[in-house]
Amino acid sequence: MAAGATYFPIATTTLGSNSATIEFTSISGSYTDIVLILSAKASGGNMDAWIQFNGDTGTNYSMTTLRANGSTVTSDFYTSLNYGYGDLSGYINTSNFNVEIIQFMNYSNTTTYKTFLSRASTAGNGLDAIVNLWRSTAAITSIKLSGSQTYASGTTATLYGIEYA
Amino acid sequence: MPLITTLAGASARGYGGLVTFGGGTSYESIATVTVGSGGSSSIDFTSIPSGYQHLQIRGILRTTETGATYDGNLVRMRFNGDTGSNYTMHSVVGYGTGYFADAAANVAYMEFARTAINGNGSSMFAVAVADILDYKDTNKFKTMRTLSGTDLNGGGRVYLSSNLWRSTSAITDIKIYPSSTFSFVQYTKFGLFGIKGA
């Protein structure tokens, strides 16, 4: 078995002021999976992290959730969305930084649709396990995070690359 | 040509910090299995080296099942060829219109993932990540946690499980296989990774 070091940090963005979007562009196809770790706080009100690839704003996204808010467990699904979601019950608020770890598997293959997993948690709000689908066989070359509000200063987003042996 | 560029929104442009890195050494790719056009009834990682603290398995998967039975979308796992009733599992499944929890003791397998199947729309694959902690520790039973899911643009499954192998043996072999008589289809792909300790 060949072994090799991987799970490389590719880039980190730390917001120095509020921003409506965070975007990773020109993503190399050198890896098999990429992982996005987001620590976010909102400015202006509560928000979810919306995720789009390659500038695709069409209704090509969908998701199934399993989530809880401290009193209720919910599993629901949403079809033909304009973006995927990093969180729902573990939404981003103006008080505490949340945590989202999003796994984009086989992001650069051109055969399959892209399925990606998110685990999100926010103290005082709730937590999520979300599976998203982007109905495209295109390789992911850019990731755009947005939302109904703006990301607050101090929000960090780090992208890692994992290469299979 | 940079490997990647990042761009914060207009209001942050010029103020956002950007750090790029060279790479780490504590997380290593050990082996990869990609299923070819003929399909495969199982994925086997054998002779796993002992030079790590923990293991992680990642991948995309789909099976030949065409129906949608409970067992039909279940993918199982065994360690070291142990087919005895030495495993225990707990899980919770969200299926889009509800959820359920499950448990089983003294069973002959672990539950690794809920998978996409040929009965789903084309090009749809499930994804899974599993963490196996202290896999070589001969003083501990072995615990594995998993997160997997598949979305079909009309429902899907999110699946979390915790599994116990009641053995103190070091894990040297891992078998991943679909339930019943199904097989993995082409493009199914699993990677085995090792995480070093200090």
Within 10 angstroms of residue B98's Cβ, the number of other Cβ atoms is 11
Question: Is residue B20 situated within a structural domain?
Answer: no
Residues 52-81 of A with CB under 8 A from B: 62-67, 73-77, 79-80
Q: B189, B115 in Cβ contact below 8 A?
A: no
Nearest of A109, A116, A26, A114 to residue B5 by alpha carbon: A26
User: Domain range spanning residue A118?
Assistant: 8-162
Question: Is residue B22 situated within a structural domain?
Answer: no
**Amino acid (1-letter code) at residue A135:** R
Q: Burial letters for A79-118: b for 16+ Cβ neighbours within 10 Å, e otherwise?
A: bebebbbbbbbbbbbeeebbbbbbbbbbbbbeebbbbbbb
pLDDT of residue A57: 98
Domain total of chain A: 1
Residue A87 and residue A67: Cα distance in Å, rounded?
A: 9
At A126, give phi and psi (nearest 5°). Answer: 165, -165
Q: B75, B176 in Cβ contact below 8 A?
A: yes
Contact B3 A10 (CB under 8 A): yes
Question: Is residue B139 situated within a structural domain?
Answer: yes
pLDDT of residue A6: 92
Contact A6 B193 (CB under 8 A): yes
Question: Is residue A153 situated within a structural domain?
Answer: yes
Minimal Cα–Cα distance from B100 to chain A, Å? 10
pLDDT of residue A1: 44
B178 CB within 8 Å of a chain A CB: no
Question: Is residue A2 situated within a structural domain?
Answer: no
Write out pLDDT tens, residues B88-102.
999 999 999 999 999
Q: What is the CATH number of the domain that holds A24?
A: 2.60.120
pLDDT of residue B8: 52
Question: Is residue A121 situated within a structural domain?
Answer: yes
Per-residue pLDDT at B4 exceeds 70: no
Question: Is residue A102 situated within a structural domain?
Answer: yes
pLDDT of residue B179: 87
Per-residue pLDDT at A2 exceeds 80: no
Write out pLDDT tens, residues A103-145.
999 999 999 999 999 999 999 899 999 999 999 999 999 999 9
B33 CB within 8 Å of a chain A CB: no
Contact B32 A164 (CB under 8 A): yes
Per-residue pLDDT at B122 exceeds 90: no
Q: Tokens for B67?
A: 């129906």
Contact B94 A132 (CB under 8 A): no
Percent of chain A whose pLDDT exceeds 70:
98
A24 CB within 8 Å of a chain B CB: yes
3-state helix, strand, coil in chain B (%, to 5): 0, 50, 50
Residues 96-125 of B with CB under 8 A from A: 96-99, 116, 123-125
Q: Burial letters for B156-170: b for 16+ Cβ neighbours within 10 Å, e otherwise?
A: bbbbbbbbbbebeee
Question: Is residue B8 situated within a structural domain?
Answer: no
pLDDT of residue B70: 55
Write out pLDDT tens, residues B55-76.
999 999 999 998 865 556 899 9
Kindly provide the ipTM of the predicted complex, given to two decimals.
Answer: 0.94
pLDDT of residue A23: 97
Nearest to A12 among B19, B59, B95 (CB): B19
* Cα-trace Rg, chain A: 15
Triad A134, A139, A140: Cα angle to 5°: 65
At A112, give phi and psi (nearest 5°). Answer: -110, 160
Least confident of A15-29, A76-90, B2-16, B134-148: B2-16
pLDDT of residue B155: 87
Contact B191 A164 (CB under 8 A): yes
Residues of A in contact with B24 (CB under 8 A): 5, 7-9
Q: A133, B151 in Cβ contact below 8 A?
A: yes
Nearest of B83, B117, B125, B27 to residue A7 by alpha carbon: B27
Per-residue pLDDT at B175 exceeds 90: yes
pLDDT of residue B2: 39
Question: Is residue B7 situated within a structural domain?
Answer: no
Per-residue pLDDT at B149 exceeds 50: yes
3-state SS, residue A90 = coil
Domain total of chain B: 1
Give the mean model confidence (pLDDT) for residues B4-23. Answer: 42
A110 CB within 8 Å of a chain B CB: no
Question: Is residue A97 situated within a structural domain?
Answer: yes
Mean pLDDT of chain B: 88
Contact A13 B21 (CB under 8 A): no
A26 CB within 8 Å of a chain B CB: yes
pLDDT of residue B21: 43
pLDDT of residue B68: 65
User: Domain range spanning residue B128?
Assistant: 27-195
Question: Is residue A3 situated within a structural domain?
Answer: no
pLDDT of residue B69: 55
B164 CB within 8 Å of a chain A CB: no
Q: Cα B20 from chain centroid? A: 29
